[in-house]
Structure formats: structure tokens, C-alpha cells
Amino acid sequence: MLSGLFSYGRPEDVAPFITDDKLHFVLSRWLQSWLGGVYIRRALSAHIKVNVLQVAVFLVPPGLGAGLSVVDFELHVKAVVFGFSVVALVVVLQSIVFLLRRNHLAPRRGTRKSIDDTDTHVTNKLFSSLLLDMLFPPKRLLDETIGLSLTFCMAGLVMQLLSDRDLGAYASTYANCDIVENVLGWTVYATAQYPMSARSPVDVNTWRVGAPTALDDVQRAVYVTGLAGLDWIFKTVVPSALTARLVVRYCLFATPVLLNFGVLPPTTALFEYLVEQALGIGFGHVPCEDAFLLLMYAVAYAVATGLIAASTSAPLPVSLGLAAALGRWLASSRIRSWNETLTREILMTTSTKVVPFSPDHERTMVSEADLKGSMGDVPELWRYTLFDSDRVLSALRYAFVMTLSAGAGAGFASISDSDRDQCGSYLLELLLGLWVVVQLRVLIPTSARVRRWSCYIPDGLLNAVGWLLDRLLRVVLLLLLGCFFARDAMSATCAWTPCTAAYSSIAMVHAYTICQRHPCRATYIMALAGLGALCANLSFAIALFLAALVPPRFWHGLELLQYMRVVISSTVFEPKQRFDYWILVTMLATPISLASLLVATVLVSPLFPFCGSTLFLAGFPRPRRFWSTYETWHDGEDACYYEHFFDALTLELPSLLAPASVLHQRSHQGGHDIYLLRVDNFLGLLEVLELSTDYCVVRFKGLELQETTSCHHLEASKLDDVIADAFDEANPSEDDAPHRLPSPRTFTPLLRTPIRMYNISTVTLVDFLDDPKCLDLIHEAFYVTLVSELNRVTHGSVPEIWLSFPVSISGLDFVLKEFPTLYWDYLQSKNKKQRHFQNPRDILKAEEIPVPTPTPPSREPRRSSLKLATDAILRLVTHLKPVRASVSAAPKARPSVRAREERTASQKERLEIAYGLNDTEAASVDYESLAKQRPTVVHGRRSFMWGDIESHEEASTPFVNPGVAVRASFLKDRWNKVTEFHLLAASCFAIVETLGFGVHEKRGPSHIFDCFQGHFPRSLENDWLQANTTLYDVVVRAYRLAVKMGLDKFAQGDTDLYDTPDELEATIQHYQSKWHIGPRHTATWKYYITTNRPNLFALTKNANGQYMSNVYTLGRQDATLVALNRAACEGTWHGLALELLYMTNDDDERFSIQSNAQLLRNLLVQSADPPLGYPIYCTGAVFIKL
């Protein structure tokens, strides 16, 4: 049964957690622990040369410690000798190890393997100094200072414990264990001295408990400091507790082993948990995301407490006014601003790296006339300073708070005790009445039943009511504090001693801070403290501390009960486990689950179902942030959408989390709330870390968008059904009632808010790309857009590097027939106007702008069409360097072309003149077969076989004149107007639309999709085009624009591409300025997402092979906020950590990640912090002012 319980959801019948590989891993960790950080990953026989030297580190510290134990020196002298010996040994041995690995394993270049990595995973890293970079990677001066300070402090504490020999009976009983203690103690000292910064980085996919990234100076300092503190407490308070002191001592001796068996992360978490609980009870606020910020807040609270304690000798109004001012200052964001400023200054002074600063706000240029006209509207200086200055408004708020608190204290101190108690009871009743009204106000916009009523209350009215209730709560709370603190000061039974002054000062700081930080949360604490003071006749300060313990645990217990109810309900109604005795296990495990519930409620710790079963266990007490690393995570192709999503969300959060908002007033704990945000098919998790009246700290995670994952898709669809049911005004029909999700759920839809986000519309193009008319529109639009893009890049003049296009003249003949001559003439006239009006406002002098003057036409006779064809073909000869099998040698230089004067030229003679062939070479050429061929590839080499110049018939051959030649084609009257731009555009068009097709091939949907992705038909000409990167980008951009234009025209039912050139130019300009057209998941696509391009278009292909049109339109979308049960999130994440890290149950089909629509289990597993979870986007702790 135990094996079956452990194998929930596993494909195997029995899945033992301890295997040979895992046992070998544990043993290697044990060896590593005694080496002080040297990492042995494989057996000694694998890398014998390296590991023999590493084993020396294992042998030297104990041996050196045993040798020092018999030497009659002072302990500090021994410490110096031992410390220098160990550091020198580590430096020498690791230098040799590094040289060995570099010569035998590392590649022969400026990279190296990480020092402590002997496995196949290699971390390449550039290095400048061999030894320094190996032992001490470059760090900031502040980090080095903190690390050295912690190392010296730990060394001092270890020396203190080693020098302690006053254990009495222990010393007499275990006198022969002195050498053993020295061996263990000196090994601990070596571990404390080892440079932890030399540890190699570990990839997140291989991260485990005890990995080098989990061991740092702070965790070691916390562990050693805690043990030393316990030893000092036992020695001072309970000197006879020898057994406890021995346990502490041997816990310290076991530090090297415990380091790598995962004791430091839980120890650090326990220490942070104690600090969080102490600060939460004492001051009501704990910053979560930064240890340095936590230290600044602790110092600020200590200073505030000292100032209030020093003012106890003054009158009561002075103390209350000072406490109110300090409480408001602590509840504001001033300390966070100081932290950011101090961190920036330290980075600028101690680091050579570029410090990223926030960009300046955009400045809009204003004309001089508008500036002069607006000067009359500027208010007077004193009026602006008084009413619009933030500093003056802040000073007025401070003055109001101080005046109200001091006045309330003085007023209540002047009345009798009975009247004061009666006023306190009235204030408590008023406070409870306001709390009831606040809850009703929160219930109106968030309840699904209320939303189905026919009555409608405007949001503006609800916000005004919320603002009024928030202000009334603050005033009533300040009056209540003045009443009860005056009651304590005037009480005859309260003896004013230093201890009383201390906890009264802390109580004042706590009370005034939480009342001005989060009035709704302070309501519970003040009501309970007031009832305790009136009913139990307790001091208000003592009742305040007791009351601070109750609300967090009460709300946490309710969340735990709801979580257990959902898990058991989903197990009963939708059983998925293969274990046959799950009902019996549930019944037998009920007492354990209830006991775990009680422990988790008291400790405010997670409660998790063991391996997905109904057996609940209390998790290790941790801070409420729970495994959060607060680091940015950006993974996956869809992360750019979530980055834009969060940027848009930050614009709405000041109104969503404002003091008068629903989310602020429904938060029972002043933060620690978790919400799901659903917009279209985007799904994000928003975690509110801290929430105050003027700022908040949030964290956002984006979940995957793929629909191929069945569990994700099932839970997301069920979530959409619940949202639709909650926001549907009409009652659901009876037919839909059986399909509704069962009521016990861990999530509740709250409200909808508009957010500026991309709306994704997807259309199947089956009826579009299969229609010949749509294909003709795209074909026609491509020529137009190609001419437009080439003109925009070249301005009508083609660069010389693009004049070597390898398309034959015969291939351009019918392509030039489709050339958009009318649109080109319009662009030419527009280019002339732009060249004519280069300086419309006379910003520069006319002579400073050189205008090229056209050269006068020569008096030479006009070039014939044959001469033009000859020049083009000879350019191809020079560019392609042809190899001809039928001709002995290609002409190396261009000979002079002389036409016959008074006779009609045949096709053979025209070819001889065009190619510059003599009679001997021309006799061996088969012109009839040669005229039907195009450039091909022969035996892997480029070979050019000459094609037909013009489809010429013998009967209609024109007369050839050296001065004038007539081309018998559609360009008979316009051949002299064909420029190099025409030939370039026609060549690019032919490469995409005509070349590369077989005899039976034609344009179709696959051709359009491939060309949209940038994959043109294969041909030699396409190779030339791709070699010219700039021209290739122009052609690709033009084709994508043509696809969009053709699809839009066909969707509108219009078969004509344009009516006038002006209309066509306006359409192209609109697409170029308002749209981005291209494939998804590219760098360009992500750039335009982050820069808020209004419209994006992409052509994609789904799993069924159907071509899809994806249009992203930026606009206001309705985002649905869904409240999540925090206990469910913490329990799921804690169970995930237990399975992956401790039990190594990393099977993809384990039961703990199976879909559960009531619990959203799979979505919660995704949203866990990496490497346990796999969100595709994750922000750090983001500070937002409200």
C-alpha cells in the first residue's frame, strides 16, 4: 500500500525513490561536504589525476587540525596558521587542477571549464587573469566587503565555540575526545574560510538542494550565528543544560555535511520566517523582496521606537502626534526611494559597469506662438506652490494627522474614565458599522448574484463611496487610538516603567503605521484590541500585540479549510488515481490532516496534499513569499506578449489597487493576494506582495499559450466557462446547469477592467488563397509594392551593385508588359517635386545644398533595342563567367558591334552581332536548341546557356540600321523609356513570380506562404538575390505588403487594385505607418510588440495544414480578474518542491500535476518559480506608486 501511495500517477507499478544513481549522488555530496566545497561528481577512476589532488583537500584539514591540537600555542595563533595553510593549499591544488583540465579537457581557446565541474556539462567563461578569476570572480566592492565581513564573523564565532572548555562534567567525562573535537572543529573552520565565490554556476535545469547556487555567505552566516546564539543562551540562562549545549556543538561540527544536504536553505527560511513574524507583530509591515531594504526598515522602526520612547516624559498629545507622524512616514514609500538612490550611488562608485537609469520623459516641441499664448494661463507662483506642489500637500497631510491625533489624545485625557470607556465603545460600534458598509460596497461589483440583478450602479458612484469610506475609516481609527492610548496613560493600575515605555512605544508605532498603511486591515486588529481592553481590562498595548496574532491566522485558516474542501471534493467526484484504497487512506488520514491543519494555521505555514493524495501535511514554515527568487524570467516565443501585457497592466494598477478600489478594500492582510488575469487567450498570474495607501509591490508571471497541452487547455477552458457564467446577466438555462463546474473552487471571478492589449483575430484562408482572383490581386499588388519599396529605397536611381541581375532579356520581355507604368510615372513626378523642394523653409542657405545639374544629351544616334540587349547580355557574361561546352572560349573583352548596312539581318546574324562571335565560333553553335534554354546548373557548377533575345519570326524581321533599331515587341514605341530601374524591378518580380517553377507548376497557397516567410522559389537568380541582403529585404517586405493588400481587396469584393495612383499611394503609406506585416516570433515582430505598433499581420499554418491569417489589433480589451486562494497556491508549490527536490519524482505524468478544474492544479504548477515551475515570463518585484 505504501508503494502504491508513492506511485500516484506513475506509469510503473512501483517507483522507488532511492536508486543507485541517487545514492551515488548523495555519497558524492557527502565527500564534497568534507572537502570544503571541492566538487566530486564521479568516481575516482573516472578522473584519477584530478581527484587525487582533490582528495588531498579532504585529508589535510583534519590532519592539520589533529596536529595543532597537541601544540601548546594560543588558539588565535593556531587559527592564523591553520587559515593561511588551508587557503594556500586550496590555491595551489586548484591551480594544478585547472591546468590539468585545461590541457586535457578544455578547448584550445580563451575559454575554460568551470573549476568545480568534472561532469560532461561545461560552463565556458572568458577569463582575464588565470588565478584571480578562478578563485575570486569579479564582484562589486560592496559584495566583497560583505562577504569578507561575514567570513571573519563566522571565523570568530567558530573560534569562540572551539575555545569553550567550561562544560564541567562534559570536560571530565570526555577528556579523551579533545583530538576528535579538534579534527571536526578545524574542518568546520576550513569550511568557513573557503571562498564560496569560486563555486561554478549551475544551470537551472540541473538545480537541486545543496547545489552551489544554494550555498552563499549569508546562509552560512545565519546558520553559524544561530548556533552560536543558542550556545550563548544555554550558557547564560541555563548553565546546567549540558546536553543541549552538546547538541548545539555537534550541530556546528556537522556543518560541512549539513551544508550539502540542504540544511542551509531551510535554516535561512526559518530565520526569515522568524524575522517576518517579529516585524509583522511588532510593526505590522515586512518588506519581502530585498534583504537590504528589510535592514533599512528594521533600522527605521528602531529609530522611530526610540524617539517615541524618549518622548514618554512629555505630555500625551506630543507623544501621539509624534507617533502619528512617524507612522505615516513609515507607511509611505520614502524608505524605498532612499534604498533605490543609495543602491544607485553605490553602483556608480563601486562598479565599472553601466548602470541602467530610467529614461527621461518625452518632451513635445511647442511653437513660439503657442508658448507666448500659454504664458497668460500660468498661475501665480504662490498659488501653484500651495495647491499643486507634492511637498506642500504631503506637509498638509502630516499636519492634519498630527493635529487630529494630538487633539484626540488631549481631549480623551481630559474626561473621566467612564466617559472615556463609553466613547471607546461608541467608536468601536462606529468602526464595525463602517466595516460592514465597506464589505457591502465590495460585494456589489464582485458578486455574481448581484451582477445578475436588473439594477445597475455606476462605477463612479461606487468609487466615490469607496473614497468616502476610506477617509472615514482613517479618521475613526485615529480617534480610536487617541482614546485607548489616553486610557492607558490615565489608568491608575498602569505603572510607567522602562519596560512599559518600551512596549507602549512599539505599540504606538505598530498602531499608527498599520492604520495609515492599510485601514481595512487595521480595522480587525483595532476592533479586537479594543474589545480586549474593554472586556478583559487589559492594557491596550498588550491587547494590540495579542490582536495582531489573530487576523492573519484566522484568514489563513479559512483559506486552508477551503483548499482542503476543494481537494477532497475533486477527489470524490472526479477520481483519477489508480490507487484502490484511497477512500480508506482518506478516512485513516483524517486525524493527521486535522493536526496538520492546526499546526499550519498557528505557524501560518503551507498545507499540502502528500503526493496529490488526501493526506495533508503541514509544510515547513517559510516567509509568505515562499520560494520566490524575485528574478526576471524570460523564456519562450510568447514572452514578448506578456511583457507588453504587464506594461499595459502597470498603467491600470494605480486605479485597480487604489485605497478606494475594490481590490484594496477586500484585501484582509494588506497584500499577499494572488490574482489570475484573463485577456483573450492570455493568462497571467499577478501576486501582490505589499499593498499600502500610496504604493504597491507586485509580481507578474505569464503562462504558456499553447493549446496542445491537454491539461492546460482543459483548465483554461473551464476557467473561461466560470468567467462567462459569472458575468452573464441572464440566468443559465437548465440544459447548461449539469455542465457547470462544481461549486467548491479555489478561484472566484471578481471584476472586469479595460486594458490596452492586443486583440488576436484568426481567420482560415481556405476560400481566399484558393481563388484565382485573389491570387491575381496579390500578383498585381506585388509589382506595385515592389516598385514603391524600390523607389523608397533608391529614389529612382539604382546602385551599381544591383545592376548585375542575372535574368535573361527574354525572361523580362513579358514581365515588363505588366510593369505599373502609370504608378511609376506618378512616383517619378513625386520624386521630381521632392528634389525641387529640398529647402522649403530656407533653413539652410541655397548654396549649401548642392543640386546636381543634368548633363546635356549627346548628339550621338539613339541606341537601338539590339544595342540595349547586347549591353545587358555582356554584363551578364562578365558577372556570371559562363562555361560553354559548344564554344571553345568565351570572349574576354567586349568587341565592337557593327551591323550590316543595307540588308535584312537573319536571326543567326543578329545573335552573332549580339554575342560578338566570329565566323569560326558561330559555325559550331546550334542556335535553334540554344534559344530555348535558360541559365542552368551543370554538375554542380554555374553554367550559362544563351537564351532567345526576342521571339522573332523570320518574315517580320525589321531592317537593321546602325543608328536606329526597332524592337518587334510590345515596347515598339516605348523601348527607349526602359531604364535600369525597370530592369531591376522586372528582374526581382520574375525571380519571385515566374522563375523556379516547373512546366506543370503554378502559383498557389503554398507559394504565397513560402514567399511570405521569405523563401522564394529555388533558382540561380534567387541565389543572387539572397546574396544582396538589402535588396532581398526590400523584395520580402514588398511581397508581404502585397499579400496584405491583395487579401484586403479580395475580402472587400473589389477586383481592381486601385483607381488612382494617389489612392494607391495613400493605402501603401497607411500600411507602412500603422501596420507591421511579417512572420511571428521574430526579433522584428517582438520589437513592434514592445513599441505598441497599432496593427500586426502574420500568415501562419496550423497543425491541420490550413493557412491562417493572424491580425493583432491594439485596443482596449476587457481583462477579467480572478481571485485565487493563496493557501492553494502555497500548498501546490510546496508539494511540487517536495516531490522534485527531495523525492526526485520528476515523472511527466505524476498525479500532482494532472488537470483539476476545481483546483487549477496544472496552471498553479506552471506558475511556480523556476526551476520548479515553467512560466514563460516572470518579472521581479515591481514597485508602483498609487
How high is the pLDDT of residue 954?
41
Residues 456, 444 contacting (CB under 8 angstroms): no
Residues 895, 916 contacting (CB under 8 angstroms): yes
The amino acid that residue 1153 corresponds to is: I
Tell me which residue has cell 505598441. 1092
Q: Write out pLDDT tens, residues 422-435.
A: 898 999 999 999 99
Nearest to 567 by CA among 518, 636, 623, 616: 616
β-bridge pairing 1075-1077 and 1095-1101: parallel
Residues 1063, 784 contacting (CB under 8 angstroms): no
How high is the pLDDT of residue 561?
93
How high is the pLDDT of residue 967?
34
Nearest to 988 by CA among 1038, 945, 943, 1061: 1038
Residues 558, 591 contacting (CB under 8 angstroms): no
Helix (H, G, I), strand (E, B) or coil at 533: helix
Residue 1158 C-alpha cell reads as 476545481
- Would you call 1019 exposed, middle or buried from its count of C-beta atoms within 10 A (0-12, 13-18, 19+)? buried
What residues contact 1028, with CB distance under 8 A and at least 6 apart?
Answer: 801, 802
3-state secondary structure string, 911-960?
HHHHHCCCHHHHHCCCHHHHCCCCCEEECCEEECCCCCCCCCCCCCCCCC
How high is the pLDDT of residue 150?
58
Residues 320, 480 contacting (CB under 8 angstroms): no
How high is the pLDDT of residue 769?
82
Instruction: HSE, CB side, 13 Å, CA atoms: give it for residue 522.
Output: 31
Q: Count other C-beta atoms under 10 Å from residue 228's C-beta.
A: 19
Residues 263, 223 contacting (CB under 8 angstroms): yes
Residues 56, 37 contacting (CB under 8 angstroms): no
Instruction: HSE, CB side, 13 Å, CA atoms: give it for residue 283.
Output: 24
The amino acid that residue 1109 corresponds to is: S
Question: For residues 719 and 740, what is the distance between their CA atoms, to the nearest angstrom?
Answer: 11
Residues of the chain with pLDDT under 70: 1-223, 252-266, 268, 288-291, 346-389, 448-456, 492-496, 573-582, 624-636, 705-709, 729-742, 796, 805, 807-811, 813-814, 831-978, 996-1002, 1141-1152
Cα-atom radius of gyration of the chain, to the nearest Å? 40
Question: For residues 813 and 816, what is the distance between their CA atoms, to the nearest angstrom?
Answer: 6
Stated as kind and residue range, the H or E segment containing 1135 is helix 1126-1137
How high is the pLDDT of residue 677?
92
Q: Is 1092 left (phi over 0), alpha (psi -120 to 50) or beta?
A: left
Question: For residues 556 and 1129, what is the distance between their CA atoms, to the nearest angstrom?
Answer: 12
Which whole-number Å values give the CA distances from 381 to 99, 385, 388, 927, in the listed order?
72, 6, 10, 93
Residue 485 C-alpha cell reads as 492610548
Distance of CA 903 to the CA centre of its chain: 79
Residues 983, 805 contacting (CB under 8 angstroms): yes
Stated as kind and residue range, the H or E segment containing 32 is helix 20-34
CA geometry: angle at 262 spanning 1131 and 182, to 5°?
150
Note if the bond before 1171 is cis, omega within 30 degrees.
Answer: yes
Residue 969 C-alpha cell reads as 515587341
Nearest to 1044 by CA among 1110, 1106, 986: 1110
Nearest to 24 by CA among 39, 49, 46, 42: 42
Q: Count other C-beta atoms under 10 Å from residue 520's C-beta.
A: 23
Stated as kind and residue range, the H or E segment containing 21 is helix 20-34
Nearest to 537 by CA among 487, 482, 476, 480: 487
Question: For residues 1157 and 541, what is the distance between their CA atoms, to the nearest angstrom?
Answer: 46
- DSSP string for 687-717: EEEEE-SSEEEEEEEE----S--HHHHHHHH
Residue 65 C-alpha cell reads as 587540525
Question: For residues 624 and 603, what is the distance between their CA atoms, to the nearest angstrom?
Answer: 11
Residue 671 C-alpha cell reads as 497584500
For 672-803, strand residue ranges (E) read 673-679, 682-691, 695-702, 747-764
Residue 325 C-alpha cell reads as 507622524
Torsion of the alpha carbons at 127, 129, 132 and 135, rounded to the nearest 10: 30
How high is the pLDDT of residue 1041?
92
Residues 300, 283 contacting (CB under 8 angstroms): no
Residues in a beta bridge with 608: 617
Question: For residues 1108 and 764, what is the distance between their CA atoms, to the nearest angstrom?
Answer: 5
Tell me which residue has cell 518574315. 955
Question: For residues 868 and 562, what is the distance between their CA atoms, to the nearest angstrom?
Answer: 86
